[in-house]
Structure 1
């Protein structure tokens, strides 16, 4: 009887948003994604798309929180790519963030945001950290980045 009551209270607390979420709900495509609730204050009644948006915003604002996410979604990885790209262009100091991305791929359950990303990281598993970072940054640089796209209007031919 007591365990049923406690289970009901937990369910009610989660539904009302009194708990802090630390994962997506069961059955969600990214149900294996977990985060440290101490770093991300997200109520349990927040919709999964909004949860992912908030986590991506946190990564964009403070990229080191990426270390507290297990099996980050491709969207979260792309948020880190954006910061990596910015840091590489501005001051070249992206090594720490590249190591966070490498660490995220220790899990076989992390889905890659770019084709070949897992293979690029896995291919350097026996190298030292500095070489792994350089290889990863070179791989990311050769991929067509959505941050490098400049949209323009098509050129209109001058009348003859």
Structure 2
């Protein structure tokens, strides 16, 4: 091993680097995020990384756009924000967040957080963006979730 490789390894182990993915071998190793939006030291444990990312989504949901292959837990954090926006009649904000969800599902590597989500998104693949967003919001509103994430829209 070269001196540079040893220094890199030590830097990561000591938390001097900023993490932009879960460690190799992690079940969600394909999940990536833009480190500029999430200041997470490289020595943070994977469960804590995911918790921090979910907290960031809950507090500033547009950061979801900077995550590739979000984990089911991250998606559920976004579902919660969408549900809140719908409950408070903020349709435009909910629609924008649904568009982020549709964009995330363009990846074949994403793990489906809610059974049928991929099918609901793919069923409208040839439709206009507004139609796709409405279909996703309708799907989220119609699904009975054990987490009580989404309520029925009126």
TM-score computed with the length of structure 2 as normaliser = 0.93
CA distance in 1, matches of 2:137, 2:34: 27
Provide the aligned length of Structure 1 versus Structure 2.
147
Alignment of 1:84-95 (within 5 A): 84-91=82-89, 92-93=91-92, 94-95=94-95
Shift of 1:43: 0.2
- In structure 2, runs of 5+ residues without a counterpart are none
The root-mean-square deviation of aligned C-alpha atoms, in Å, is: 1.3
CA distance in 1, matches of 2:26, 2:13: 16
Helix, strand or coil at the partner of 1:21: coil
1:108 matched to which residue of 2?
Answer: 108
1:68 matched to which residue of 2?
Answer: 66
1:45 matched to which residue of 2?
Answer: 43
CA distance in 1, matches of 2:70, 2:124: 20
Shift of 1:4: 1.3
2:13 matched to which residue of 1?
Answer: 15
1:147 matched to which residue of 2?
Answer: 148
Which of structure 1's runs of 4+ aligned residues deviate more than 3 A?
Answer: none
CA distance in 2, matches of 1:19, 1:148: 35
Q: Is the 8 A contact 2:58 2:78 kept in 1?
A: yes
Q: Is the 8 A contact 2:120 2:136 kept in 1?
A: yes
Q: Which has the larger radius of gyration?
A: 1
Q: Deviations over 1:57-101 (max 9, x none)?
A: 000000000000000000000000000000011022311000000
TM-score computed with the length of structure 1 as normaliser = 0.89
CA distance in 2, matches of 1:100, 1:10: 34
Helix, strand or coil at the partner of 1:124: coil
